[in-house]
Amino acid sequence: MRQPLARELHDLLERGRDRQLRLAVTGLSRSGKTAFLTSLVNQLRHAGLEARLDLLPVAREGRLLGARRVNQQDLGVPRFPYDQAMAALDATPPHWPEPTRGISELRLTIRYRPTRRGLLGGETRELALDLFDYPGEWLLDLPLLEHDYPSWSLAQQPARGHQRAALFTDWLAAAAELDPAAAADEGQLAELAEAYAEGLRAAREAGFADLQPGRFLLPGELAGAPVLQFFPLPGIEGTERAALDRLPPESNYATLAKRFRHYQQHIVRPFYRDHFRRFDRQIVLVDLLGALNAGPERFEDLSRALANLMQSFDYGKRSLLSRLFAPRIDRLAIAATKADHVTPEQHGRLVALLEALLAEPLKDLRFADVPVRALSLAAIRATESREVSHQGRRSPALRGTDLSGEEQLLFPGEVPDRLPDAAFWARQGFDFPAFRPAPREGGALPHIRMDAALDWLIGDKLQ
């Protein structure tokens, strides 16, 4: 194996020659990352054969020769389970792949013919594409680096809507009893931390997304470790910082503050330092339709979570991220996923809504001169669009099979093209079931605009 420094240098040279690209896929849980990465690999593997990639010039022009999976470079990162995902989609009946829970990686070598041939004609080139998939929840922790324990505790306190606060009442009742100055009891802190994590999980189940600390939701190998056994301390609003700092090291307060710092230093920072900083391109997936389906409070919450998450892409010179990690993502895509849940004439509105939802972060990104594109897509299209006649009028509809195996023909509703107002929610004109993937006979996975996403993310490297 190469030495890390030699490897970095090698990577740098390869990238300089446009032969290596690190593309990262993220989004909150259930936003569609696993489906997206599976489809991306599948489309490229079938490029030049059955894959329909007309919006990707290298494919349209017949220059894309195919892609092969090769061994990845980071031996410490789990491999993205592509074969398992395909096995799920090819089962009878087909089902959705198990979502990944942490960071995973897969390397493809893409072969293509360049637009300008060399003197000898017939020349082919290769691009090594490193694909990474990691939970968007991890990005929710970036703002946490700007806090110390007391300021974070305060920031987590405000009651954010009744539904959400209700999920934390048990935890709050118990945590409010905790005396910051008393000697810490490991068992009690573990219990309270578990109750807090429970609240976060319940909030996520209920569709909320603005949840910190992110790893409490996807602890992976850290489950049960003391580094995850902290929580915001209620009731310290009136207490002087200096008084808190004087509390003895074995006190509840000092123990929790120490764990918070450990979480910052050993969990949050390393992700940015070892992975994030090295990504060249990024796509952020957003399940906007799911949030519309779930109602106003969850929609608001998604909006807050995205604003938080997008801070990780704000490269303004003075941004926290630039100061700490000097990242280099030079192109960003933001995609509303599962577009096959609405009829095709709604797709434009879906993008408009995504842009409206992300208006502020998009402004910051444009200001920081990070090229960004918003789009809508379906990684794995599970429905077909149809027209139905009703009382002499023709209208668009979708046909698909729901998760229980029932055939459905329906019109799921109109997507608002701006942030939904009270009138929209009063009508609640939006409702759709989850569909199961369609059975297939080999070939490439059906999709909507995966080729447009690919063009934006890698097209310029395949010229």
Provide the binding-site residues for ligand GDP, judged by CB under 6 A.
27, 29-35, 96, 99-100, 337-338, 340-341, 378-380, 382, 434-435
Nearer to ligand GDP, 101 or 262 (CB): 101
Give the pair of three-digit tokens for residue 87: 């096995």
Helix (H) / strand (E) containing 292: helix 288-294
Shortest Å distance, C-beta 135 to ligand GDP: 8
410 vs 35: CA distance, rounded Å = 23
Shortest Å distance, C-beta 435 to ligand GDP: 5
Shortest Å distance, C-beta 358 to ligand GDP: 18
Shortest Å distance, C-beta 13 to ligand GDP: 33
- Biggest alpha carbon–alpha carbon distance for the chain: 79
111 vs 3: CA distance, rounded Å = 28
Nearer to ligand GDP, 99 or 316 (CB): 99
Helix (H) / strand (E) containing 399: strand 393-401
Shortest Å distance, C-beta 432 to ligand GDP: 9
377 vs 357: CA distance, rounded Å = 17
Nearer to ligand GDP, 184 or 291 (CB): 291
Nearer to ligand GDP, 217 or 462 (CB): 217
Contact between 250 and 194 (Cβ < 8 Å) = no
Q: Which residue, 67, 94, 100, is CA-closest to 82?
A: 100
Nearer to ligand GDP, 37 or 268 (CB): 37
Shortest Å distance, C-beta 146 to ligand GDP: 26
3-state helix, strand and coil shares in percent for the chain, rounded to the nearest 5: 45, 15, 40
Q: Going by C-beta distance under 8 Å and a sequence separation of 6 or more, which residues neighbour residue 324?
A: 145, 269, 272
Nearer to ligand GDP, 31 or 42 (CB): 31
199 vs 194: CA distance, rounded Å = 9
